[in-house]
Structure 1
Amino acid sequence: MAGLSIWHVLIFAIVVILLFGTSKLKNLGKDVGGAVKDFKKSMKDEDETTASLNEPRTIDAQVKNSESSIKS
């Protein structure tokens, strides 16, 4: 792990908690979680809108699609 032991990580965590306090770290966690949630939602919305854009656009495909819709 790049020369880091569990003690290095533990000391780093203690220093960060002492510098910023638990309330600021909790708020930071909420902000990051909200940002990730919004990002996932926007990716899902984008996938739904681009699904219709991925249809074939060639003339042959359009003719086949219109013929199949006429037969139905």
Structure 2
Amino acid sequence: MGSFSIWHWLIVLLIVVMVFGTKKLKNVGQDLGSAVKGFKDGMKGEDGGANQAAAPQQVTNATRQDSNTVDVDAKTKS
């Protein structure tokens, strides 16, 4: 019961296409490709995101005078 021949794989592929249809398989392929691309972009951008997260946020006069802004002092637990 070793490896399957090419005919076994072609029959399996034919059955999968008949069950799911070519349109659904195309959509699955596109979704998988975009997920892999997004993962690669996320791995590349990981170093740049760490540098941006470490930078302190700047408060402008417009945000200081905004009525929705609440000014609080952050304290650490001891």
- Per the normalisation by structure 1, the TM-score is 0.62
Identity of aligned residues (%): 52
User: Deviation above 2 Å: which 4+ runs of structure 1?
Assistant: 47-50
Q: Distance in 1 between matches of 2:8 and 2:47?
A: 42
Structure 1 residue 49 displacement after superposition: 4.6
Structure with greater helix share of residues: 1
Task: Give the AA of the match of 1:12.
Answer: V
Structure 1 residue 6 displacement after superposition: 0.2
Residue in structure 1 matched with residue 17 of structure 2 by the alignment: 17
Kindly tell me the number of residue pairs found equivalent between the two proteins. Answer: 50
CA shift digits 1:11-30 (9 cap, x unpaired): 00000000000000000000
Secondary structure of 1:15's match? helix
Task: Give the AA of the match of 2:3.
Answer: G
1:1-72 equivalent positions in 2, closer than 5 A: 2-49=2-49
CA RMSD of aligned residues (A): 1.5
Question: Structure 2: where are the runs of 5+ without partners?
Answer: 52-78
Question: Structure 1: where are the runs of 5+ without partners?
Answer: 53-72
